[in-house]
């Protein structure tokens, strides 16, 4: 009987003509800070050489998140989901690749670049590695993803990876 009463109250409220509140929008500079990465890309090493992957970056979830679909020519595929969190003022990214596990990155825009940091993998000695990824727009419209690793929790950094994302419609 109790659940019938609740159902009746919900039905009456719905018929009262009160429209539901619109969901909050994900618009504004904070939510758009990573939009420069959205597109269809061919990914090459920054030092030059053959392409290593295709990557599709798209706005999803009513524009509240950015999803990457990483499609390497060799190796395992992966996906990341990035979103701005207004409660913390930070961006968060979840990476899930073709091997078990996931990686969480946190950060945000710094001087026009997106900088995300999280623990990912281990060094040769078995120490957890803190990885810092910096995404930046280049003069030709491409995006650089520069990765650095630290085995001492960020006191020192070494190069880890360096990729250039070129739009498929402009890639040579």
Tens digits of per-residue pLDDT, 105-133? 999 999 999 999 999 988 888 888 999 99
Task: Evaluate whether 108 touches 90 at the Cβ level (below 8 Å).
Answer: yes
Tens digits of per-residue pLDDT, 77-102? 999 999 999 999 999 999 999 877 89
CATH of domain 28-167: 2.40.128.20
pTM recorded for the entire structure: 0.83
3-state per-residue secondary structure call for 91-154: EEEEEEECCCCCEEEEEEEECCEEEEEEEEEECCCCCEEEEEEEEEECCCCCEEEEEEEECCCC
pLDDT beyond 80 at 8: no
State the pLDDT at residue 49: 95
Token pair belonging to 167: 């739009």
- Return d(Cα 132, Cα 118) in angstroms, integer: 7
pLDDT beyond 50 at 157: yes
Picking from 65, 69, 91, the residue whose alpha carbon sits closest to that of residue 80 is 69
pLDDT beyond 90 at 59: yes
């Amino acid at each position: 009987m109790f659940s019938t009463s609740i159902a009746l109250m919900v039905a009456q409220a719905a018929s009262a003509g009160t429209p539901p509140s619109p969901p909050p929008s994900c618009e504004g500079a904070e939510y758009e800070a990573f939009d420069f990465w959205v597109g269809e890309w061919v990914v090459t090493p920054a030092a030059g050489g053959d392409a290593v992957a295709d990557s599709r970056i798209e706005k999803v979830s009513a524009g509240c998140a950015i999803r990457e679909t990483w499609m390497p020519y060799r190796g395992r595929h992966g996906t990341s989901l990035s979103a701005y969190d207004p409660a913390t003022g930070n961006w968060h990214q979840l990476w899930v690749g073709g091997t078990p596990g996931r990686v969480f990155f946190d950060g945000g825009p710094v001087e026009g670049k997106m900088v995300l940091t999280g623990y990912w993998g281990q060094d040769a000695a078995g120490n957890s590695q803190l990885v810092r990824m910096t995404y930046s727009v280049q003069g030709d419209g491409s995006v650089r993803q520069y990765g650095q690793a630290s085995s001492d929790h960020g006191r020192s950094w070494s190069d880890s990876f360096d990729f250039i994302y070129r739009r498929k419609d402009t890639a040579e």
